[in-house]
Amino acid sequence: MEYYRPLVCFDPLRPDHALPVAGGPGWFTHAALHVRGAAPRMVDLDAIPANWLNRITAARAPIAGVAFDRPRLMGILNVTPDSFSDGGKHHVASKALNHALEMARSGADVIDIGGESTRPGSVTVPVEAEIARIEPVIHALRSEIGIPMSIDTRKSEVAKVAVQGGAALVNDVSGFTYDPALALYCARNAVPVCVMHAQGAPETMHENPQYDDVLLDVYDFLFTQVTMLEALGIPRAQIIVDPGIGFGKKIPHNLAILNGLSLFHGLGCPVLLGASRKGFIGRISGAHPASERMPGSIAVALGAAAQGVQIIRVHDVAETAQALALWRAVTFGDFDDS
């Protein structure tokens, strides 16, 4: 099988024959052709099959009211006692509300609420306990913030409570492999979804992950899951894909995915990147604990924006929003000095 990764550019000096990436300001005139067992090589537009071109270039429709005319920020709200970076800080509803309001003021476009830590080595939280964590927070946020909420869960019963409470998106780190009822619930209730790649369960995924070609293996998994979700009745236009940085991946795996992120535009869906404060940033930079990894997280976020990624999931909303504003100003002259 052949895979085509657009070589994304944002330079204002755009050739007439260039094509848009996902209908946005990024464009490409060449792609990297990937074939298993061979080194990638550059090809021009004429060599790219029509089905790939259509998926790469088509504009992405808004999801949960969020348009993808620029990189969007998903603010992380963990209401858990044991998340790897901020566990225990926001598990009380009043503290969670204050933090969510702060993220919204700072530039978040979506608030992603999670009641179960899926860090490496974590154990599964019972449904009742997860609901008890997220339900009061969602109800507290529903009337207070003017941006959509996402529920970060693998479980259909948790998603049902969250959506009934006001969540507008289901974000499943298992890629809809943990609970078969979750995809069915989202399809029947027209709930947009984010499908993420993870190799193995959180309890053991860090022990010895193996891939033939991590970039292409992750692409194939996401392609299969998007196809399955479409068959259930969820339109591709309402599916977000996430390559799952840090979920069953060693540092070389993470770096290969980050280097080749634009391949995932070939799925025809908005692409989400969640690398904020992840362990590989600490290993490479020497920044410990996780709360010290904001500069490295921003560097990865800017690299993702430069490949046309539509959504960046972050802990440090204000700092990332500032960095993206400067990136846009430098890249497009996008600044009103009036």
Q: DSSP alpha helices (H): ranges in the chain?
A: 50-57, 93-106, 127-142, 156-165, 180-188, 214-232, 251-259, 279-285, 294-305, 317-332
Tokens 């990332």 — which residue? 320
Q: Which of 281, 322, 124, 105 is nearest to 204 (CA)?
A: 124
**CA 314/CA 73 separation, integer angstroms:** 7
Q: Which of 306, 244, 214 is nearest to 3 (CA)?
A: 214
| Active-site position among 133, 155, 278, 293 | 278
Is residue 278 annotated as part of the catalytic site, yes or no? Answer: yes
Is residue 5 annotated as part of the catalytic site, yes or no? Answer: no
Cα 219 to chain centroid distance, Å, stands at: 14
**29 and 41 Cβ atoms separated by less than 8 Å:** no
Q: Is 200 helix (H, G, I), strand (E, B) or coil?
A: coil
| Active-site position among 154, 155, 160, 313 | 313
Annotated catalytic sites, by residue? 278, 313
